[in-house]
Amino acid sequence: MSVIIDKIKNIPNLYCVQGCSTNQIHDAQIELGIDFPKEYADYVKEYGAISFYGTEWTGLNLDGYINVVNATKQERELNTAFPSDCFVLENQGIDGLITVMDKEGIIYSLQYDKKEFWCKSLVDYLDICTKRNE
């Protein structure tokens, strides 16, 4: 089992939807024109999408703004500066600030055309998310 799955498993009061299939992941990647990093694919395969402590990560097996395909397509339409090698991981809901992940697994904050490095992996970002609510 991957490190990200083990860490998510230990989050108290975690809300998740049903995990998704490899075919669903493949279809989402085709629709977005980007390959998901292994950590993200492992996460959505196991959990679909998660919410905890006011944190909501995008995923699959649900509709609306938290669906990774819907969220990414919407941001691409609204923001001409949205990086083509990224997808939406989390919408902060504050002044256009979103968290994006690239195909290599690097996490960035994106606010309109300002993209800044945040951390090097989904595991690192999970640590940031859990600590901000301690």
Q: pLDDT tens for residues 66-98? A: 999 999 999 999 999 999 999 999 998 888 899
This prediction has a pTM of 0.94
Alpha helices in 10-121 (DSSP H): 22-32, 38-47, 68-78
Q: Give 110's strand partners.
A: 98, 115
**Is the residue at 26 inside a domain?**
yes
The pLDDT value given to residue 132:
77
Q: pLDDT tens for residues 15-38? A: 999 999 999 999 999 999 999 999
**Is the residue at 37 inside a domain?**
yes
**Is the residue at 90 inside a domain?**
yes
Cα separation, 65 vs 77, whole angstroms: 14
Type of residue found at 49: A
At residue 133 the predicted structure's pLDDT band, cuts being 50, 70 and 90, is low
**Is the residue at 133 inside a domain?**
no
**Is the residue at 127 inside a domain?**
no
Q: Give 109's strand partners.
A: 99, 116
Domain range for 77: 3-122
